[in-house]
């Protein structure tokens, strides 16, 4: 749509009352018929239209961990990295996941195509690597990006060994022309053109923030049978209290509003959560210093955080900056923690904790 | 059971002086725990870091002499095919070389070994089987049964290495022999001193000016979620458990 070009002198003509003996301007003028063909429409907030890449020049593969079908923060960063390599919207980013991911969410994260990599019920890295290698051979993508996570990094190296290529791993800085990774005990770095196989270090490359993309499915390739070395695999139950606080996925924390600490630790155990605390509680010696969450304690990397009786001082909130989901129980409606929380409960923590325990006890 | 521990020429991350890679020393301790007959194997030049591994519980090390531009995988694969160990142990990633962690996978492929990553514990599980406990993020653990012969990479959270004993270091033997030499094409990467780069903070939205990013990382933003004011404790407990369902193990 081509808009009529605005005449820059028309505005001045419309407001000019007299030019002699001096220029006089009607400053109260608010616009009328003289500007009829030049009204500038007020910008309307419209949801950005999904971008469609129907006929890509080449493909970029992004392999997500997506446990349980939800993209992790790291997966989104890998998709963001893939979009950096798309030549300014010329390439399609293909998301390969072991579990089906909702198309809408994948589009927001920057994917154009979804390619499911079939995986049975069991964790099977050998089969996955074979399936990804088959897809790479079928579609010949220009780049294949993996997460440098435990399973993602393992998969990347299996695929690289299978394809007989190198993997440029733990990329910390990426643009369309250069990729940089640490080497030599992190004393040196290697810099070169983006390679075909790369893994992306966590929290170094920003996720995609542009307009969402239209997602269409792609046919998976049929993998050949992989040699089986892993005979069986099972997750072991671990005691959540033993997990280092910085690694834990679910943390519940007690603040100055909690008085019954043994009840609190019992609740953590029943929930399968790792216990944490605010500084006031650790200073008082009610809980060990190792449990302190915050700027001078541990910075969490959890998915979910539950705060009982914590006001939400800035030093404490810095410790949960990365946490996506926060629950707060506090008697003060105006506490910062209540504002930060996705589920905020204004109630006495001392009453809610036993109620939680009772519910958990009833439902083993 | 016969085990080979692969040793690489490590560097101290701060001082830059030769030093054994800790996870390789942990691999020695894991193999000793299994009661294996253990030897060390290194492809490259003799190096003080390799010799120091003798003090951590290795009785002998074989050094396959190859040039700096030769592919260590070719030399190691030839030696391992000849020795036929039941178990090959490496670190999950080197410390001082290219540190890609790719060598174990290429070697396993070249020798037809099963491979499992990030082990923190090993045990025998019957004839031709080995049980491995893997370390996962978030403190998770996974137990695998693996066909032997197998190659296993060791995670830094495995039990600590045996302390250094100088007498063992003096008593240990290093045998040097020529390795299979196969040149690899030179890499095209520019090598320069490491420059630390900032990590994403907050939700990782790096958009906007520095001021906006600082505000996004430090400001209390309203999550705009559910607010329950003075609910019944049982009702509050039900809401919390409902919310936590997705996050509980
Ligand atoms: C340099 C520096 C570093 C710091 N580092 C840290 C750090 O790393 N970690 C940290 O946590 N703090 C840190 N602090 C301290 C921080 O500023 C706060 O003082 C502290 O976090 C407050 O802890 P709190 O929320 O538990 O206590 P309070 O601020 O006393 O808040 C208690 C909250 O509990 C609520 N409450 C009271 N009774 C109940 C009840 N029965 N049921 C439910 N809610 C109730 C109250 O409404 C209040 O909101 C640091 C301070 C400084 C100066
Ligand atoms: N030249 C080498 N000789 C023997 N083992 C090696 C050599 N290079 C690497 N390794 C092993 O492979 C692991 C991973 O190395 P890298 O792939 O360089 O990160 C190291 O921890 C060693 O156990």
- This complex has an ipTM of 0.84
- At A332 the pLDDT is 94
pLDDT surpasses 80 at A220: yes
Among all bound ligands, the one having the nearest atom to the CA of A330 is 1
Q: Which residues contact A58 (CB under 8 A, 6 or more apart)?
A: A87, A90, A91, A141, A142
- Token reading at B195: 């420059």
Site to probe by mutation for ligand 1, drawn from A285, A312, A320, A330 as the one with most ligand atoms within 8 Å of Cβ, is: A330
E strand map for B1-46: 2-6, 37-43
Instruction: Provide the edge-to-edge strand list for the sheet that holds A197-200.
Output: A168-171, A197-200, A143-147, A59-63, A92-97, A113-116, A216-217
d(CA A363, CA A349): 21
For residue A271, give how far its alpha carbon lies from the nearest alpha carbon of chain B (Å).
7
- pLDDT band with cut points at 50, 70 and 90 for residue A27: confident
Structure confidence at residue A203 as a pLDDT band (50, 70, 90): confident
**What pLDDT does residue B226 have?**
84
**Average of pLDDT values for A318-328?**
89
Percent of chain B with pLDDT over 70: 92
**Ramachandran angles phi, psi of A138, nearest 5°:** -75, -45
Nearest to B131 by CA among B147, B118, B117: B147
Provide the 10 A C-beta neighbour count for residue A222: 10
Whether residue A167 and residue B100 make contact (CB cut-off 8 A), yes or no, is yes
Distance CA A154, CA A167 (A): 11
Tell me if A70 sits within 8 A of A101, measured CB to CB.
yes
**Predicted confidence (pLDDT) at residue A40 exceeds the cutoff of 70:** no
Supply the pLDDT for residue B223: 56
Report, as an integer, the average pLDDT of A27-47. 57
* Mean pLDDT, residues A165-185: 95
Residue from B249, B221, B59 nearest B138 by CA: B249
CA distance B5 to B30: 10
CB contact under 8 A, A209 and B102: no
pLDDT in tens, B66-82: 998 899 999 999 999 99
pLDDT at B155 over 80: yes
Give me the mean pLDDT over the A305-319 stretch. 94
Q: What is the CA radius of gyration of chain A?
A: 28
In this structure, the residue with its CA closest to atom 49 of ligand 1 is A311
Ligand 2 atom nearest to B44, measured from its CA: 1
Average pLDDT, chain A: 89
Give the pLDDT score at A364.
Answer: 42
Distance A316 CA to ligand 1 centre (A): 7
Indicate whether A38 pLDDT > 50.
no
Q: What is the mean pLDDT of chain B?
A: 90
CA distance A346 to chain B (A): 5
Condensed to tens digits (0 to 9), the pLDDT of residues B23-82 reads 999 999 999 999 999 999 999 998 999 999 999 999 999 999 999 889 999 999 999 999
pLDDT higher than threshold 50 for residue A129? yes
Q: What is the pTM of this model?
A: 0.79
CA A70: distance to chain centroid? 10
Residue A35, phi then psi, degrees to nearest 5 = -105, 10
Contacts of B200 (CB under 8 A, 6+ apart): A77, A203, A204, A205, A206, B206
Model pLDDT for residues A229-271, shown as the tens digit of each residue: 888 889 888 888 888 898 898 999 999 999 999 999 999 999 9
Spatial distance between the Cα atoms of A205 and B1, rounded to a whole number of angstroms: 45
Residues in chain B: 249
Of chain B, the end-to-end C-alpha distance in Å amounts to: 37
Q: Give the whole-angstrom CA distance, residue A96 versus residue B100.
A: 23
**Centroid of ligand 1 to alpha carbon of A281 (angstroms):** 8
Which ligand is closest in space to the CA of residue B154?
A: 2
Closest CA to ligand 2's atom 16: B101
Sign of CA pseudo-dihedral B205, B208, B210, B216: negative
Q: What is the dihedral of CA B128, B131, B136, B141, to 10 degrees?
A: 160
* CA-based nearest residue to B83, from B3, B29, B147, B25: B3
Q: Which ligand is nearest to the CA of A296?
A: 1
Band of pLDDT at residue A281, cut at 50, 70 and 90: very high
For the stretch A49-64, pLDDT in tens is 889 999 999 999 999 9
Chain A nearest C-alpha distance from B227 (Å) = 5
Residue whose entry in the numeric block shows the structure tokens 């929290």:
A203
Q: Which of B73, B156, B83 is nearest to B117 (CA)?
A: B156
pLDDT value at residue A35:
47
Comparing B230 with A364, the larger pLDDT belongs to B230
Task: Please list every residue in chain A whose beta carbon sits closer than 8 Å to the beta carbon of residue B188.
Answer: 192-193
**In the predicted model, is pLDDT for residue A37 greater than 50?**
no
pLDDT score for A73:
87
Instruction: Please work out whether the CB of residue B149 comes within 6 Å of at least one atom of ligand 2.
Output: no
- Among A100-104, B91-95, B136-140, B195-199, top mean pLDDT goes to B91-95
Mutate to test the pocket of ligand 2, among B39, B97, B161 (most ligand atoms within 8 A of CB): B97
* Secondary element (H or E) of residue B154: strand B150-154
Q: How far apart are CA B68 and CA B98, in angstroms?
A: 12
User: Which positions ≥6 away from A45 have C-beta within 8 Å?
Assistant: none
User: In B, which residues are within 8 Å of A154 by CB distance?
Assistant: 117-118
CA-based nearest residue to B149, from B103, B186, B187, B116: B116
Tokens (6 digits) for B139: 């403190």
Residue B103 CA to residue B17 CA, distance in Å, equals: 23
Of B97, B109, B247, the CB nearest to A161: B109
């Amino acid at each position: 749509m081509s808009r009529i070009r605005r005449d820059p002198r028309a505005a001045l003509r419309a407001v000019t009352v007299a030019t002699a003996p001096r220029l006089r301007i009607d400053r109260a003028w608010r616009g009328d018929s003289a500007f009829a063909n030049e009204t500038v429409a007020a910008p309307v907030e419209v949801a950005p239209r999904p971008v469609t890449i129907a006929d890509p020049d080449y493909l970029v593969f992004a392999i997500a961990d997506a446990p349980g079908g939800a993209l992790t923060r790291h997966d989104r960063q890998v998709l963001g990295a893939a979009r950096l390599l798309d030549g300014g919207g010329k390439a399609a980013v293909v998301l390969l996941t072991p579990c089906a991911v909702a198309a809408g969410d994948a589009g927001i994260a920057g994917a154009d195509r979804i390619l499911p990599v079939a995986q049975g019920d069991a964790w099977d890295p050998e089969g996955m690597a074979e399936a990804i290698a088959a897809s790479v051979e079928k579609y010949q993508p220009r780049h294949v990006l993996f997460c440098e996570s435990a399973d993602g990094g393992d998969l990347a190296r299996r695929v690289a060994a299978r394809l007989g290529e190198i993997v440029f791993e733990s990329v910390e800085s990426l643009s369309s022309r250069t990729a940089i990774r640490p080497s030599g005990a992190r004393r040196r770095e290697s810099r070169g053109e983006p390679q075909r196989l790369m893994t992306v270090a966590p929290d170094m490359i920003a996720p995609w923030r542009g307009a969402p993309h239209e997602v269409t499915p792609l046919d998976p390739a049929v993998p050949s049978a992989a040699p089986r070395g892993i005979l069986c695999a099972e997750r072991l139950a671990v005691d959540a209290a033993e997990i280092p606080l910085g690694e834990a996925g679910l943390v519940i924390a007690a603040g100055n509003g909690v008085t019954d600490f043994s009840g609190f630790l019992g609740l953590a155990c029943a929930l399968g959560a790792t216990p944490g605390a605010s500084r006031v509680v650790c200073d008082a010696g009610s809980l060990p210093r190792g449990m302190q969450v915050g700027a001078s304690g541990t910075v969490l990397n959890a998915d979910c955080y539950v705060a009982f009786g914590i006001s939400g001082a800035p030093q404490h909130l810095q410790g949960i900056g990365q946490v996506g989901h926060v629950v707060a129980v506090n008697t003060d409606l105006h506490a910062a923690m209540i504002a930060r929380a996705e589920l905020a409960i204004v109630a006495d923590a001392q009453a809610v904790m036993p109620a939680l325990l009772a519910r958990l006890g009833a439902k083993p | 059971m016969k085990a080979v521990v692969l040793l690489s020429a490590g560097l101290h991350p701060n001082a830059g002086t030769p030093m054994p890679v800790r996870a390789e020393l942990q691999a020695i301790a894991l193999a000793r725990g299994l009661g294996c007959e253990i030897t060390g194997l290194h492809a490259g030049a003799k190096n003080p870091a390799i010799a120091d591994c003798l003090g951590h519980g290795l009785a002998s090390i074989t050094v396959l002499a190859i040039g700096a531009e030769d592919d260590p995988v070719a030399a190691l694969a030839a030696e391992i095919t000849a020795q036929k160990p039941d178990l090959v142990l490496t670190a999950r990633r080197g410390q001082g070389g290219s540190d890609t962690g790719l060598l174990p996978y290429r070697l396993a492929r070249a020798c037809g070994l099963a491979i499992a990553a990030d082990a923190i514990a090993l045990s025998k599980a019957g004839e031709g089987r080995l049980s491995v406990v893997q370390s996962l993020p978030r403190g998770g653990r996974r137990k695998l049964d693996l066909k032997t012969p197998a190659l296993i990479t060791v995670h830094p959270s495995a039990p600590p290495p045996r302390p250094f004993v100088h007498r063992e270091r003096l008593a240990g033997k290093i045998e040097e022999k020529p390795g299979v030499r196969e040149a690899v094409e030179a890499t095209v990467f520019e090598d320069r001193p490491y420059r630390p780069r900032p990590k994403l903070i907050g939700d990782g939205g790096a958009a906007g000016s520095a001021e906006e990013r600082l505000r996004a990382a430090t400001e209390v933003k309203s999550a705009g979620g559910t607010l329950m004011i003075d609910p019944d404790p049982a009702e509050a407990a039900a809401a919390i458990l409902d919310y936590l369902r997705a996050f509980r193990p």
